[in-house]
Structure 1
Amino acid sequence: MSANLSLRRPQARASWAVLPLAMGALISSACARPQAETADARLKALYDAEWNWRQKELARGEDEEDGSPSLPHVDPASQKRRADYWANALDKLADIPVDQLSPEEKINAAVFRAALEGFVSEYKFKEYENPFGFWTWMAPRRGFGNAQAYRNYSSRLRDMPRFIDEQIANMRAGLARGFTNPQVSLGERYKPIEPLAAPDIEANPLFGPFKMMPDGLTAGQREALLAEGKAAAAIAAPAFARLLAFVRDDYIPHARKTTAGEALPDGKAFYLAKVRQYTTLELTPDQIHQIGLKEVARIDADMQATMKQAGWKGDFQGFLHFLKTDPQFTAKTPYELIAKSAYVANKINGELKYTVGMLPRYRFTIRPTPANIAPFATGGNGGLESCLMNTYDLPARPLYTIPPLTAHECVPGHSFQAALALEGPDRPAIRKSTYFSGYGEGWALYMEWLGTKWGIYETPYDEFGRETYEMWRAARLVVDTGLHHMGWTRDQALDYMKSHTALSDHEVTIEVDRYLNDPGQALAYTLGEMLIRRKRAEAETKLGTAFDQRWFHDVILGLGAVPLPTLEQVLDRWIAGGGKDPYAGKTGFKLP
């Protein structure tokens, strides 16, 4: 198909991949000073070398589709080798004069610096000694595209015993110094390992991809790959059996009894480091706690108004109980829940031409969350290939939360943003692979709010569901800092979430335990969304009738994941430049 074929509509451009975008033009003139070439070259050589080294160290395949034939080494010596390399790269980066970099390379430098600082910080606190849950996504959910990919996967399965034994050793070291997840949050979280340890290889999820081989393989290839895969899975399964016994009988019973992140070794410094890594902002836990309290009060007023609009005559807690227990809000079957999500996604698709200027070619599908992890998973997860909706325990997944969940996880949230990242501007690999929660989760939460303009919240109950999700993320600012910095108990956190949202008790429990196990991660969502909404309001005020949300969104999506201060700087310069279409005059569509 010719790249010159018109796939455009007046309000949007479809990309089959997005054409290269010179984001530097959004910041300042593209004319760089002569000496900038030297600084740019030094920076490019540094991050290209690091990227190539990182791929080898982390055992990533040269071809993304084929994958790597091995798993990374995660033993302490390997961890130290990587940390030393990254610390040295940081020193070299500090020697490059930022003021001599071109606009685009300044963005690359900011992304590279934040990523390196995160790697070095993780080693400083020896976070590799708590890899709890690493097994969750080790069984692929789909097949591979060619024979070599299957051979590489079988090779990874044969490497699994070594990898798992290294991870068990790491977890034993974490146990010895009290660097574990809180015992109260773990419960039966060993259960997702059980299917992976199953001796019946045909039923083991590790063998699943071999049941989904592509049609293009010959009969001989299929027979050989099946035999190789079955033998490899038979090697991996006993390793997972060892892991299961360790996690169930040793790790969980001896995990720490405390709950706060600040109760860990060097805990105050650790929690502050995680706050900065996840938010990319220089905010203290106390400052974030106060921001959260203000947001909770604001959203509470909105929820009270929506409750009255729904015609409820009782009090707020009574309304929450009604929403959580009335059968009209519960899907009768998993199909009904998935169908509701698909309906919302399709309704949003009809609005995209007015919302985003550059549309991706790549398409995702909506699938149920895999059964082995569903009991412990959140309501949904969005990724490039699929958007997962959790159909486990249907009463815990009220239908009024499906519209915001779909906008967040599927379109134009994570799955949509991942497609644009894949097809996006021709930028360094570090920009394509690095993810910042403040940017990604902030964008997805902003999409929930933008859904108020698309008609996806069809009833007051749907709108209350959206507000519940908004409150859920704002309450995280209070709960996460409360748990890890202010001495809150798990029960306090549970009560706070239950009294402020219409989330089911099951989901509240899953979420609070997630915050306990990943200090700081929950803080990124609202802080990122607040920045985007603030910048949009500024743009609307300063640009007036010249403001076009398509170009505003194209700037954010075309930029890719960056630290929040960098995102703000780019948007400020875009506004100052008149809010122009960042793709205006560009030609030359290309496949990724």
Structure 2
Amino acid sequence: MNIKKLVSALPAVCILFCIALEPAAAAGADASAADLRFQAIHTKEWQWRLAQRLAREPNDGGVSPALARVDAAAQEARRAYWEGILAELDALQPDALSPAERLNYAVYHAQVAALLDAQRFREYEQPVNADSAFWTDASYAARRPLRSLDDYRNYLRLLEALPDHFAQQTANMRAGLARGFTPPRVTLAGRDVALVSVAEARQPEDTVFFTPFRNMPSSLPAAEQDALKARAATLIREAVQPAYARVLAFFRNEYLPRARTSLAAQSMPGGKAYYQSKILEYTTTRLSAEQIHAIGLAEMAKIRAEMHATMAQAGFKGELPAFLQFLRTDPQFYAKTPKELLMHAAWTAKKFDAKAGQYFGYLPRRRFAILPVADDQAPFYTAGRGGPGAYWVNTYNLPARPLYSLPALTLHESAPGHAFQMPVAQEQKGVPPFRRAYISAFGEGWALYAERLGVEMGIYETPYEHFGMLSYQAWRAARLVVDTGIHAKGWTREQAQAYLMENTALARHEVETEVDRYISWPGQALSYYLGQMAIQEARARAEQALGPRFDIRHFHDTVLQLGSVPLPVLQQRIDAFIADGGPSPYPAAP
């Protein structure tokens, strides 16, 4: 099914996005005036976001001394503010903007619309799901390196502010509970483990929040270090641990027993409109649940045919279920220690380094570390995550972490996936700060495309590793079926788990963790495969049109230079790339 045709057949989407790259209708002076009006709007709004602590400046490596207010009054004020911003944007004439600002307008309009939708549906009343929660988010500051005295002092102020922030979040959860706006109860079981690790720690020094004080910079005098450690221990004992204990009691005694038992997003307040808003946010299209379900089924059939061909290459005699059972149980496919798993991940990352210059003209300056997922998060964490500076590998439950899938995971999360794509976007010059925001359809689509790219790059050395890549492809295509099945077609949790077990080589633990994530985070799972399809379609179109002039490095650089954009904007940019003859977006690129 042609994703470009599906996108281009949606006039409502093109009103939002595609117009951004249409030829300008205004003269230079008018375009400049329109540009100035648009710049004034987004500059004003961005400064407001910073003041609200809803955003940070790019390259801000410091520690914020406070947390954003999240109470109902602050949330309603944000709804009203973004409603006003959207009205100002709608009053502009996008075709009067310069080409660069029309692209910015397309991204920004979609971003503000998604932020406003989240406020209108009061998503802040559900600050927890099977994947994350505000209490795990709060611990991220403790995992960041602190380098200066100001960093440490700001961190201590953050600890002081934490109890009030938790109280606001708990009040929001109670409001969501009262109207049935919660994650399904079945997806929340055991999600209190991170609360327990702090609330029931015997000493403040045993909690994650003491992490920055275990190895302090030598530039700080010993007496200063001792004073900071003492203050931290006091705040953790008297403020942080009691706050975690209160949330733990609320979660166990009030929230979990009364959380909704239905699974579908369409059964929540807002019904079908709510789920459609999540489809728009995560896919940047107005495709319906039915259309997406059909795409998933069609793509699964294609991937299954590839799986059978790869099984034959491996010399396996038998049907797919038997092969999947073999992969899930044979010891040769599993690391014996966490270090072994991390070393295999590092080996794949270095194999990419050897090929990077053949596929990319622009290489990001920022490197990344390969790190194990923290113990308090690992039981319910995905197999890996990547971003600027880090690729986290989940070493918990090694029998659920097959080595044959690790190359695909590494390409997705490290390079040329997230730990590569995000720094490239951050290193672009002259881009307004709102363009640094992450759009799942683009970012996850690129990372999934990176897995397929590994075939061309020669990363997969055995039929089993190639099958691991196909299993990951099937996993993402299956998400189109499972997410829409759960949230629009009445699927049960068991039905969704069975579909993944039958169509992928994922371990039972990972299947259960992933399905609970889709149930409690509607729409997000749709972004991956639809995004990959858009990139693959754009590449195929460019290859056909440009013939021998097509340079894979120029295509990849053009895609990544955009940062994160809605899929229709990506398609329009590749149209321009083709019309221009396929040049590098970087004049100095080889």
SS at match of 1:552: helix
Contact 2:333-2:402 at 8 Å conserved across structures: yes
Contact 1:27-1:570 at 8 Å conserved across structures: no
Query: What letter is aligned with 2:39?
Result: K
Q: Distance in 2 between matches of 1:145 and 1:417?
A: 27
- Judged with a 3 Å threshold, the aligned counterparts in structure 2 of structure 1 residues 301 and 119 are, in CA distance, closer, same or farther, namely same
- Judged with a 3 Å threshold, the aligned counterparts in structure 2 of structure 1 residues 429 and 413 are, in CA distance, closer, same or farther, namely same
Residue number among 171, 194, 197 corresponding to 1:195 in the alignment: 197
SS at match of 1:351: helix
Q: Distance in 2 between matches of 1:569 and 1:212?
A: 50
CA displacement at 1:28 relative to structure 2: 6.9
SS at match of 2:176: helix
Q: Distance in 2 between matches of 1:450 and 1:77?
A: 48
Q: What is the aligned partner in structure 2 of residue 565 from structure 1?
A: 568
Structure 2 residue 534 is matched with structure 1 residue 531? yes
Contact 2:185-2:260 at 8 Å conserved across structures: yes
Percent identity over the alignment is: 48
Q: Paired residues, what number? A: 563
- Judged with a 3 Å threshold, the aligned counterparts in structure 2 of structure 1 residues 476 and 457 are, in CA distance, closer, same or farther, namely same
Q: What is the aligned partner in structure 2 of residue 100 from structure 1?
A: 96
RMSD of the TM alignment (CA)?
A: 1.9
Query: What letter is aligned with 2:100?
Result: E
Contact 2:24-2:98 at 8 Å conserved across structures: no
* Correspondence list, 1:146-185, <5 A: 146-185=148-187
- Judged with a 3 Å threshold, the aligned counterparts in structure 2 of structure 1 residues 59 and 300 are, in CA distance, closer, same or farther, namely closer
Q: What is the aligned partner in structure 2 of residue 47 from structure 1?
A: 42
CA displacement at 1:383 relative to structure 2: 1.4
Contact 1:437-1:521 at 8 Å conserved across structures: yes
Q: Distance in 2 between matches of 1:59 and 1:474?
A: 33
Structure 2 residue 554 is matched with structure 1 residue 551? yes
Say which is worse superposed, 230-239 or 267-276, in terms of deviation.
230-239
Structure 2 residue 64 is matched with structure 1 residue 68? yes
Q: What is the aligned partner in structure 2 of residue 142 from structure 1?
A: 144
Q: Distance in 2 between matches of 1:32 and 1:240?
A: 59
CA deviations on 1:86-137 (whole Å, 9 max, x unpaired) are: 0000000111110110111011111111111111111111111100112223
Query: What letter is aligned with 1:115?
Result: Q
Q: What is the aligned partner in structure 2 of residue 365 from structure 1?
A: 369
> Structure 2 regions of 5+ residues with no counterpart?
1-18
Q: Distance in 1 between matches of 2:55 and 2:119?
A: 20
Residue number among 318, 321, 324 corresponding to 1:317 in the alignment: 321
CA displacement at 1:212 relative to structure 2: 3.2
CA deviations on 1:270-328 (whole Å, 9 max, x unpaired) are: 00110111100110000000000000000000001111111111111000000000111
Displaced runs of 4 or more, over 3 A: 24-32, 59-63
Contact 2:20-2:103 at 8 Å conserved across structures: no
CA displacement at 1:535 relative to structure 2: 0.7
Contact 2:20-2:102 at 8 Å conserved across structures: no
Contact 2:26-2:96 at 8 Å conserved across structures: no
Q: Which has the higher contact order (CA 8 A, sep 6+)?
A: 1
Structure 2 residue 413 is matched with structure 1 residue 406? no
CA displacement at 1:246 relative to structure 2: 1.1
CA deviations on 1:227-261 (whole Å, 9 max, x unpaired) are: 23222322212101111111122211111110111
> Structure 1 regions of 5+ residues with no counterpart?
1-23, 588-592
Q: Distance in 2 between matches of 1:467 and 1:59?
A: 38
Contact 2:373-2:395 at 8 Å conserved across structures: yes
Structure 2 residue 507 is matched with structure 1 residue 504? yes
Structure 2 residue 485 is matched with structure 1 residue 482? yes
Q: Distance in 2 between matches of 1:32 and 1:252?
A: 60
Residue number among 442, 446, 466 corresponding to 1:443 in the alignment: 446
Say which is worse superposed, 284-293 or 31-40, in terms of deviation.
31-40
Query: What letter is aligned with 1:89?
Result: I
Residue number among 220, 236, 241 corresponding to 2:240 in the alignment: 236
SS at match of 1:580: coil
CA deviations on 1:171-191 (whole Å, 9 max, x unpaired) are: 111111111101111211111
Contact 1:87-1:120 at 8 Å conserved across structures: yes
Say which is worse superposed, 116-125 or 212-221, in terms of deviation.
212-221
- Judged with a 3 Å threshold, the aligned counterparts in structure 2 of structure 1 residues 400 and 498 are, in CA distance, closer, same or farther, namely same
CA deviations on 1:151-208 (whole Å, 9 max, x unpaired) are: 1111111100000011011111111111110111121111121112225110100111
Q: Distance in 2 between matches of 1:90 and 1:306?
A: 50
Residue number among 214, 218, 229 corresponding to 2:217 in the alignment: 214
- Judged with a 3 Å threshold, the aligned counterparts in structure 2 of structure 1 residues 380 and 567 are, in CA distance, closer, same or farther, namely same
CA displacement at 1:210 relative to structure 2: 1.7
SS at match of 2:425: helix
Say which is worse superposed, 54-63 or 545-554, in terms of deviation.
54-63
* Correspondence list, 1:400-439, <5 A: 400-432=404-436, 434-439=437-442
Q: Distance in 1 between matches of 2:485 and 2:562?
A: 34
TM-score, normalised to structure 2's length? 0.93
Query: What letter is aligned with 2:118?
Result: E
* Correspondence list, 1:24-43, <5 A: 33-43=28-38
Q: What is the aligned partner in structure 2 of residue 519 from structure 1?
A: 522
- Judged with a 3 Å threshold, the aligned counterparts in structure 2 of structure 1 residues 26 and 475 are, in CA distance, closer, same or farther, namely same
Q: Distance in 1 between matches of 2:419 and 2:525?
A: 20
Structure 2 residue 580 is matched with structure 1 residue 577? yes
Q: What is the aligned partner in structure 1 of residue 7 from structure 2?
A: none
CA displacement at 1:32 relative to structure 2: 6.7
Q: Distance in 2 between matches of 1:512 and 1:232?
A: 38
CA displacement at 1:75 relative to structure 2: 0.5
Q: What is the aligned partner in structure 1 of residue 8 from structure 2?
A: none
* Correspondence list, 1:368-387, <5 A: 368-387=372-391
Q: Distance in 2 between matches of 1:321 and 1:68?
A: 49
Q: Distance in 2 between matches of 1:60 and 1:40?
A: 23
